[in-house]
């Protein structure tokens, strides 16, 4: 059986030209420390000052530690300025407005924008909010008529009218006179219909 000839001696004698791109990739540019006289690598980024937080300097580990230990953001600020900063930090230093002031004009005809119509049209006046429209049955419509209310009446209006009519037609309010007792029964029945319908 023939022994396989080893080709390792040829591999050792082959010279390959080094790849310039690979050498450039392995060579890392070392950023020097920003402190004068320091020869170490500036691998740690720290803010330049309180007024320039977005600008940074690069320091070595020892100088970055010293910088962080001596860093005092509030240096040179008065107690009032520090307290104001703390209060503004709660809302992320963003502007705020009193509640209701900014949205007070949102419900006009121009959807919050107040401008003159360039085509000569008249400016629309702000519209008052419409009452909710509901689909009512004939029985519910009769109940609203009995209470002398519109079908778009709100819950508070229905309850207020019911209380008013009960007080007006109750025999105790009329000195014991039972003449309005039938009307009181109609009011109570009408309120019961609206209550059973979920409108009250």
Domain boundaries, the chain: 31-94, 138-196
Mean pLDDT value of segment 159-176: 83
Q: Quick one: tokens of 75?
A: 């240096």
Mean pLDDT value of segment 125-129: 66
pTM listed for this prediction = 0.35
Reply yes or no on whether the pLDDT at 161 is more than 70. yes
Do the Cβ atoms of 15 and 30 come closer than 8 Å? no
Say which residue, 141 or 128, is predicted with more confidence: 141
Distance CA 168, CA 184 (A): 9
Among residues 31, 86, 85, 28, the alpha carbon closest in space to that of 63 is found at 31
Q: What is the pLDDT of residues 60-77, one digit of tens each?
A: 999 999 988 888 888 888
- Tell me, what's the pLDDT at 130? 65
Say which residue, 3 or 91, is predicted with more confidence: 91
Q: What is the pLDDT of residues 12-23, one digit of tens each?
A: 666 666 666 666
- Tell me, what's the pLDDT at 21? 62
Question: Is 27 exposed, middle or buried (CB count within 10 Å of its CB: 0-12, 13-18, 19+)?
Answer: exposed
- Tell me, what's the pLDDT at 15? 66
Q: Name the CATH topology of 138-196.
A: Helix Hairpins (1.10.287)
């Amino acid at each position: 059986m023939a022994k396989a000839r080893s080709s390792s001696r040829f591999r050792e004698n082959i010279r390959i030209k080094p790849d310039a791109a690979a050498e450039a990739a392995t060579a890392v540019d070392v950023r020097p420390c920003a402190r004068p006289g320091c020869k170490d690598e500036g691998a740690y980024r720290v803010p330049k000052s309180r007024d320039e937080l977005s600008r940074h300097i690069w320091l070595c580990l020892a100088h970055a530690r010293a910088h962080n230990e001596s860093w005092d953001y509030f240096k040179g600020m008065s107690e009032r300025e520090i307290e104001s900063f703390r209060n503004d930090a709660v809302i992320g230093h963003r502007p705020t407005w009193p509640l209701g002031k900014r949205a007070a004009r949102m419900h006009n005809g121009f959807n919050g924008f107040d401008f003159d119509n360039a085509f000569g049209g008249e400016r629309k006046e702000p519209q008052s909010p419409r009452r909710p429209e509901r689909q009512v049955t004939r029985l519910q419509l009769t109940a609203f008529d009995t209470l002398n209310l519109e079908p778009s009446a709100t819950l508070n209006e229905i309850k207020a009218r019911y209380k008013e009519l009960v007080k007006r037609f109750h025999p105790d309010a009329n000195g014991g006179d039972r003449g309005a007792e039938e009307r009181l029964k109609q009011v109570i029945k009408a309120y019961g219909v609206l209550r059973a319908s979920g409108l009250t």
